[in-house]
Amino acid sequence: MKYLEIDFLEYAHSGTYVLINSIFRRKLFKNAIKVVGTKRKLAELIGSKKGTVNNWMNNKNYNKRKIPLSSLVKCCQILNLDINELRKNIITATLRYPAGDIKIRKWKIKFNEEFAEWLGMLDGDGSVSDRDVSFSNTYFGLTFHFAKFLQNNFGIDKNRMKIVITYYKPDSIEETNKIADQLKCMGLKRVKVYMVHKHKGKKINLKVQVCFKVLSQFLLNIRNDMKDILKASPPNIKSAYLRVYSASEGCASESKANVRVITITQKDDKELSYIRSLLEDVGIGNVDGPRFTGTGFQLGITTQKELNFQKTVGFGCHEDKNEKLKNMISHYKLNKYRKPDVRRYSCLK
């Protein structure tokens, strides 16, 4: 199946610097100078200086130095060179004052189910600032899934990931330290443990944080278009996004009155309205909300439609929530529709 590819160069920060293949670098600037006439004129066109252009073309010391991505793109435009040729020769990228390099295969990301799931986690319990990307959850499986995607798709090493373990009760210190030791045995060396006072939380929280400016800026830039891209995607992509978003922000519960409901909670009602539209796109139409609950907004999926939620979306890799949903539905009796008795209701005669 063919998937949409997201071009990293299209959403990269304007201040991105890249290390490129030395042979390609010299050839690129040499041919660009031939087209425009002089080094000075090329420097004016790409926003640089004559001496800098000369160094980029001839200086061997620049084999290990990074060059502004914007200047390289302008050179390609001058030569009418396919931007894919530039992509093939990019080795690593960083911002001018880096917090680490980032390697992206082919500089294009396939918008498949895996990437959609990762975005669902990021929009659920993740956050992006201008310098770091993080994800936090009490279910460790989701946190590890988030970190694994960063490793496999962005080439980020374990040593560059910061793990923060937060606990809320003094008697949780032993369990927290065991988790920290296990993480260190897995090769995650940057592990910190904190206790949060005056907090009602009962479970231990695990947070993974990666400080990579290039990745952060890319995600901030692409978020403007991501909702439109996701909305136009096929149902399998939408379901992949929803299953992990639900794993982060949703839950299945049953009241004392035997009312079963799946809820998705968020502080932003506009975001929940968007989530509701995606649920409707994958065939889950019986959605109530978003309603304000006093602390945030909530979507509710009730009655027999929750069976469709389990088959189509579910809670992704969150085993505990999936098991709870399965148990909740297992003893749910489907009420078949019966025609009213004409003898009891004279108005139907």
Give per-residue pLDDT as tens, 140-175.
888 888 888 888 877 788 888 898 888 888 878 888
Interval 40-50 mean pLDDT:
90
| pLDDT (0 to 100) of residue 95 | 66
108 touches 8 (CB < 8 A): yes
Average pLDDT for the chain: 80
The rounded distance, in Å, linking the Cα atoms of 143 and 102 is 20
| Topology adopted by domain 234-330 | Endonuclease I-creI (3.10.28)
Angle, alpha carbons 192-207-321 (nearest 5°) = 135
The rounded distance, in Å, linking the Cα atoms of 11 and 77 is 17
| pLDDT (0 to 100) of residue 201 | 63
Pick the CATH number of 111-221 from 3.40.50, 3.30.1330, 3.30.43, 2.60.40: 3.30.1330
* pLDDT tens-digit readout, 57-67: 887 777 778 88
CATH 3.30.1330 range(s) for the chain read 111-221
* pLDDT tens-digit readout, 66-110: 888 889 989 999 999 988 888 888 887 776 555 556 665 556 778
Confidence of residue 347 (pLDDT cuts 50, 70, 90): very low
The rounded distance, in Å, linking the Cα atoms of 45 and 36 is 9
254 touches 287 (CB < 8 A): no
Nearest Cα residue to 299 out of 243, 255, 251: 251
CATH 1.10.260.40 range(s) for the chain read 5-105
pTM of the model: 0.75
The rounded distance, in Å, linking the Cα atoms of 258 and 226 is 39
* pLDDT tens-digit readout, 331-345: 655 444 444 444 443
**Distances in whole angstroms, Cα of residue 254 to Cα of each of 3, 263, 327, 328, 335:** 39, 11, 10, 7, 18
45 touches 29 (CB < 8 A): no
Scan for tokens 């030395």, then name that residue.
Answer: 22
Confidence of residue 198 (pLDDT cuts 50, 70, 90): low
CATH class in words for 5-105 = mainly alpha
